[in-house]
Each structure stands twice: as C-alpha cells, then as structure tokens.
Chains A and B, each alone.
Chain A
Amino acid sequence: MTLISAQVYLFYGFAGLAVLGALGSWLLVRNAMAAVMSLIVTVVSLSVLYVLMGAHAVAALQLLIQAGTALVLLLFVLLLVNPDPGGFGTRDPGQVVIQIIGAAAALAVGFVIAGTVSVTLPLPAEAAPGSGGFRELGVQLVTVYAVPVEAVGLLLLAAVVGAVVQTRQEGR
C-alpha cells in the first residue's frame, strides 16, 4: 500500500465518520450530551480531513475554535439550562413521515447543487508549497485580508456585547 492510497483510505474513512457524527447529532434525540458529542466527532474528523488536504493551520484553528470553545460553550449552556433527562424531547410519530420526505428532498437538492460543479479535477497529490502553514496564513491575514479580519473583529465585539446584554439580569 503506497502512501498515496493510504491517504485516500484515511480520507474516506474520516469522511464516513463525519457523516456518522452528523447523523448522530440529528438522530440522538434522547440524550442531549450524546448529540453534542457526535457533533464533536464530526468536527474532529473534519479537522483530520483538513490535515489530509494539507491545510494544517486551518485544521488546528478548527479544533481550537470549534471543538475547543464553541462546542464547550454549547455544553456549558446545556449544563446550565438543564433540560430534562429525556433529552431534546420525544419524537412526534406524526412528524416522522414529514421528516423523511423533507430529508430526502433536501438531499436531492443538495446533490443537484453538488452536481453543478463543472470542474472534475482530482485533487493534486501534493499540496502547493506555499500553503497550509501558519506563516503563510498569517501573512495573508495581515496583508491581503486585513480588512475582513478587522470586520470579523468588529463582529466578535458586537457578539460579545450582545451576549452580555442579553444574559444580564435586571437589578444586578
């Protein structure tokens, strides 16, 4: 087994794991924590996919920001709000048919969209030398994409202020 085909096997393996995690986060209605854990499985397998595609910096940032903070925040709120041990509520039997039909329709639309990708190139076996590392990403973020980064900073500031204002209780 050459190194190339090992990468391909790893790719499809983790892609399947990502899909399983996504399905788990949707289907595990009983246990809220298990649903969030499946999402974490998806996030981690996506990070592995990024590494396999040569985007090391993005993989590290994805793990750090999503698995490290955003999902921990989600778990944190889950613990604070304390939903019943029944998880996200029971599944309504009348809804199941509608859900299946809706899911199939959405999936069909999704694949039609994916099919319009007119570029049918295989990925290059080697990543380009100027991509993937932290140094290159940093250079781009500070020079070419400085304005979007500043805009994201403003957005984060607005988000923090909004979050603090919304959760502040009157009289404190």
Chain B
Amino acid sequence: MVPIEHIVGLSALLFTIGVVGALVRRSLLAMLISIQLMLNAAGLAFVGFNRIWQGSEHGQAIDGQVFTVIVISVGAAQIAVGLAMVLALVRNRDSMNVEDMSVLKW
C-alpha cells in the first residue's frame, strides 16, 4: 500500500511539530497540546510498524497495536495530571504564561 518510510516520515513530521510547539510556546495549555501531538505521532509509528511485522515470526500479529493502546492510555493519564497542575498553577499565579513561573530560575 504505502511505503513504511512515508508513515515514519509522517510520524516524524508530527513529532517535530509537537516538539517545536512545546519548546516555543509560552502558554501552559499550548504546551500540553503540543505534548499530546507528540504522543499521537508515537502511536502512529507503532501502528505502522505493526503492519510491517505482522505476519512474521517476531511476535503476535497485533503487538504494535497493544503498544499504541498503552501509549494512548499513558497519554490520558499524563493529560489528566498536566491539567490538574495547570489548574493549581493558575489558581496560585493567576497567569498561564510560563515566564511568570520562574521562581526556581537564577
């Protein structure tokens, strides 16, 4: 169907957009959005590789998809904790800008 490099390329592209977003954005919620994007990109790579190694002797035919399910679950846990932190921080500092939370900086 589609060559595997294209799927991995798409995953890499989404991942880098997520990484750049997480590094560059200054609002907490925007950083969380970029982190979710990174997780999705990783899941895509797993499903793509699962399709390649399906019929082979390297394991069950559905291993990669199990990994993706676990990645998605971990992503849900992470976003729950991340959002709780955002709520607590906003209550304390009254701002969502990361630059206002620089108490530990030099």
Contacts and interface: CB of A to CB of B under 8 A. Distances in A.
Chains A and B in contact, CB within 8 Å = yes
Given A25-B34, A74-B32, A77-B83, A99 B24 contact: yes
Contacts of B68: 50, 55, 58, 62
A74 B76 CA distance: 11
A1 interface: no
A125 B34 CA distance: 33
Nearest to A32: B29
B73 A65 contact: yes
Nearest to B23: A102
- Place the interface of chain A in its size category: 35 or more
Interface string A145-164: 10011001001101110111
Contacts of A98: 24
B104 interface: no
Given A42-B37, A73-B79, A74-B32, A140 B27 contact: no
A19 B44 CA distance: 13
Interface in B58-102: 60-63, 65-66, 68-70, 72-81, 83-88, 90-91, 96-97
B33 A36 contact: yes
Interface residues of B, number: 72
Given A50-B47, A148-B70, A140 B79 contact: no
Contact of B2 (A73, A122, A131, A145): A122
A39 B76 contact: no
A109 B15 CA distance: 11
Contact of A163 (B18, B24, B27, B83): B83
Given A26-B20, A110-B13, A167 B84 contact: yes
Interface of B: 1-21, 23-27, 29-30, 32-34, 36-37, 40, 43-44, 47-48, 50-52, 54-55, 60-63, 65-66, 68-70, 72-81, 83-88, 90-91, 96-97
Question: 7 nearest interchain CB pairs?
Answer: A163-B84, A159-B77, A110-B12, A110-B16, A128-B54, A131-B61, A88-B27
Interface of A: 4, 7-8, 11-12, 15, 18-19, 22-23, 25-26, 29, 32, 35-36, 39, 42-43, 46, 49-50, 53-55, 57-58, 61-62, 65-66, 69-71, 73-74, 77-78, 80-81, 83, 88-89, 95, 98-99, 102-103, 106-107, 109-111, 113-115, 117, 119-125, 127-132, 136-137, 140-141, 144-145, 148-149, 152, 155-156, 158-160, 162-164, 166-167, 169
